[in-house]
Chains A and B, each alone.
Chain A
């Protein structure tokens, strides 16, 4: 049995894995809380020792996974400034803070992520109701590189391969 050192683990990959997992949970929970999709497609799951809601729809799940699959390499490179879930026709910005590259123990990290999940649950109090016709998209904001701001987004309901800006 070989033990992996920190160098072997590639700290950036670990952080990217953790964040991408959390982003997936957060997106599902946002869709549930904001009632973007009917509540019936959601199923109660457990993450970070607390109950969360996750979609059972295969296409929706695949879309979210594909989106985060594109985000993950950028997270490893620490190029991502923020990830935003937008409900179009009525702007809904939900900023997901990035965890800095400081060493956080697992318990503290889980506690922070649980707190974030709890905040998502009560976001209805500070947001207006959704418009009648709406859809959501995931927007990715990168760090400023040179003179322009890089960004891309995918929208559910349209071709996920589209990239804007």
Chain B
């Protein structure tokens, strides 16, 4: 008798009111257990089909079971239309549950109305939502107000509950849940999906604990690498400048490789450079060390507000010195003015020789006699660089040397003795910087007559 009454109610809902009757909605409306509601819906469909008046009825089913996908076993729960029920059942390896989900007269185009149907009924019965449910948990007890306030304060402090809820809502066991969730989340957003994709592609750069980072397993490694990541941000700043300089001077190494070298090596260099610059042994210099030197130079020179591009990198200096070697007459060495106040601490010897050149030139100019071409010996202040192995640093020393020169050929003659003097030193690799500096001086003095004194001579008068 009661069954007949229930079936009449269902018939009224479906046929007269043209409602979508889901098992959950029926359970709350009639006050019956969900399993009983499912059975009632099934009986109604069977009866209507037998009466041949069920043609207007459209039924949706809930199918749950294990699905083997890409070698992984995942549990799938799907709501499908009646015409696709058999196809879904054949896909599943094992079927855990099949029951009627809803009955309606209209053919549904998507699952939106099903959600809409249950939304209000669940919302009104939110406090006793598990009253007619088949899922029970003795520990699932509503929290007291005190516990709720504690949870809220902990959420505000830690902001970790979103990641936990996501872990609960999206199963990560099979490894397929997060990816599918991402796909379904990105598809309907359209333009917003572009931003989401970009945000997902930058988990390593950001230090935020977002949901995407919590979902992704490799994101954990990104989180663990935060301190070096922070260092990388600063180092990339210098690394980029060093890269540009390398490109300008046509470095042999590829930029990509250098970047890869810079990134791991610069974190080592940065703590050294910032507090106390540690000078490396010249014999042990590797490519990474050279790059570190470059970075240090760049840093120093940015601090000193230097405009010279050639003073950054020892390789660049080497190359420029090579150019100086070849040309010996043309040079922009006068522009290579290093205003660094502490040349001894630098690994690269670029700054000192140029001031020495200028100091050399100035007394030389004063000493030139006004009368014709006469050979003279002059005392010229020269700076000599050598490596102090005890302290592992480059030391610049200003020494007066006597040189022979004439009035008109004063500058050219000066270049000869240092070149001749240093020729046997050329093949040596240990002190290439010193000889290059001397050559640089000679070339600089040779060209001194042809070019204006640069403004940097103002700083070198001391």
Of all chain A residues, which has the CB nearest B56?
A125
B39 interface hit (Cβ, 8 Å): no
B116 touches A125 (CB 8 A): no
A52-B112, A122-B19, A125-B105 given; name 10 further pairs at CB < 8 Å. Answer: A44-B112, A50-B119, A51-B116, A115-B120, A117-B116, A118-B20, A121-B20, A121-B113, A122-B106, A124-B106
A56 to B189, CA, bound (A): 12
A51 touches B115 (CB 8 A): yes
Contacts of B112 in A (CB 8 A): 44, 50-53, 121
Contacts of B105 in A (CB 8 A): 122, 125
Partner of A50, one of B56, B104, B107, B116: B116
Contacts of A49 in B (CB 8 A): 119
Contacts of B56 in A (CB 8 A): 125
A49 to B115, CA, bound (A): 10
Interface residues of A in 77-118 (CB under 8 A from B): 111, 114-115, 117-118
Contacts of B117 in A (CB 8 A): 118
A27 to B110, CA, bound (A): 17
A122 to B57, CA, bound (A): 12
Q: Is the interface of A mostly helix, strand, loop or mixed?
A: helix
B326 interface hit (Cβ, 8 Å): no
A45 to B117, CA, bound (A): 17
B158 interface hit (Cβ, 8 Å): no
A43 touches B190 (CB 8 A): yes
B120 touches A122 (CB 8 A): no
A9 interface hit (Cβ, 8 Å): no
Contacts of A117 in B (CB 8 A): 116
Shortest distance from the beta carbon of A125 to any chain B beta carbon, whole Å: 4
* Contacts across chains A and B counted by CB atoms under 8 Å: 57
A32 to B105, CA, bound (A): 18
Shortest distance from the beta carbon of A159 to any chain B beta carbon, whole Å: 30
Using CB atoms and an 8 Å cutoff, list the residues of chain B in contact with chain A. Answer: 18-20, 56, 104-113, 115-117, 119-120, 188, 190
Which are the 8 A-B pairs with shortest beta-carbon distances? A125-B105, A125-B106, A51-B112, A121-B113, A122-B106, A124-B106, A50-B116, A44-B188
A-B contact pairs, 16 of them (CB 8 A): A43-B188, A43-B190, A44-B188, A50-B115, A50-B119, A114-B116, A119-B18, A121-B106, A121-B108, A122-B19, A122-B104, A122-B106, A122-B113, A123-B106, A125-B105, A125-B106
A126 interface hit (Cβ, 8 Å): yes
A142 interface hit (Cβ, 8 Å): no
Contacts of B115 in A (CB 8 A): 50-51
Most interface-central of B107, B110, B115 (chain A CB within 10 A): B110
A39 to B112, CA, bound (A): 14
Contacts of A50 in B (CB 8 A): 112, 115-116, 119
Bitwise interface map of A from 23 to 48 toward B, beta carbon under 8 Å scored 1, else 0: 00000000011000001000111000
Of all chain A residues, which has the CB nearest B112?
A51
A98 to B167, CA, bound (A): 45
Shortest distance from the beta carbon of B12 to any chain A beta carbon, whole Å: 15
A43 to B188, CA, bound (A): 7
